[in-house]
Copies of this chain bind each other. A is one copy, B any other.
Amino acid sequence: MTGRLSLPVDHACLIVDGPDQSGLVSAVTTLISRRGGNIVSLDQHSTDPSGGQFFQRVVFHRPDFAGARTQIEADLAETLSPFGVGWSLRDMSVPKRMAILASKDDHCLLDLLWRYRRGELPVTIPMVIANHTNTAEDVRSFDVPFFHVPSQKGPDKSQSEAEIVRLLKGNVDFIVLARYMQILSNDFLEKVGVPVINIHHSFLPAFIGANPYRKAKERGVKLVGATSHYVTEDLDEGPIIEQDVVRVTHADTAEDLRRRGADVERAVLSRAVRWHAEDRVVRHGNHTIVF
């Protein structure tokens, strides 16, 4: 079912992240060159050339990368250790495993599944988990397993969260909340141990709490938007990956705002997911560098 997806063979993505210092770029590029790699793309960002933080994403082609990987990693460890920077190396021919958590709303879920089938997302989708069953048939029509884990009433969600963790644990590289309308506990985030990406509506100004579209309508906003971000302990306050807006007018009802908001949500979430899957997003404190 990922037949249309063509991942780049013998390509690797290296992420370097640490204190900026002279000679670091040169050390990395020289190493890759020495180990037979040809740099295909290189992006870097420095928060400040003097004493700032340095971020680099290098994609390189190396014939028989799988065979050379161990040696390249040993070389990276030795070369980068004196600089005191972190790094990670990923084989780009291996798709990331993405789980989707959903509730009743299907707009973000179906958009991801459709792009996945179309080969637009470099991922596999081992499972969709939902606390409702209405999307089961649709999900399975994409040859994706669907699991129903009902939400528990009340503040204690430990049991349903435990069941979700059992399903996810070891099986996924990241999780997407595609309008999953349950707040996840910090305990859950720790136990799954992989990045979690969320999408939520956004307004200028922000409207907190229930019925945001009705509040936005009452305030007469001229734009409605969406923000995709990594989930952290602070609900809806994690590092932003992508945002976008769409124009609305006084003639739009609260229902129109919801419909247009849904369009922005699925567009923003699909871009954020694609960029995360391509290792384009580097987290730093509470913000992101998107290469």
Residues of A within 8 A of B (CB): 20-23, 25-26, 29-30, 32-34, 36-46, 49, 61, 106-107, 110, 114, 118, 120, 137-138, 141, 202-206, 217-223, 225, 227, 239-245, 249-251, 259, 263, 267, 285-290
Closest Cβ neighbor of A239 among chain B residues:
B220
* Interface pair B45/A251, CB less than 8 Å apart: yes
**Are B61 and A42 in contact, with the CB atoms below 8 A?**
no
Q: Are A49 and B61 in contact (CB under 8 A)?
A: yes
Within the complex, which residue of B41, B222, B227 is in contact with A204, where a contact is CB–CB below 8 Å?
A: B227
CA–CA, A22 and B87, complex, Å: 22
B110 with A114: CB separation less than 8 A = yes
Asked if B38 and A22 make an inter-chain contact with CB atoms under 8 angstroms apart, the answer reads: yes
Task: Determine if A33 and B40 form an interchain contact, defined as CB atoms under 8 angstroms apart.
Answer: no
Q: How far is the CA of A114 from the CA of B45 in the complex (A)?
A: 30
A33 with B44: CB separation less than 8 A: no
Complex partner residue of A250 from B203, B219, B290, CB under 8 angstroms: B290
A-B contacts, 25 listed (Cβ < 8 Å): A25-B33, A26-B30, A26-B34, A29-B29, A39-B44, A40-B46, A40-B49, A41-B44, A41-B251, A43-B43, A45-B250, A49-B61, A120-B259, A141-B141, A202-B205, A204-B204, A204-B206, A204-B243, A219-B240, A219-B286, A222-B290, A223-B243, A223-B244, A245-B245, A249-B290
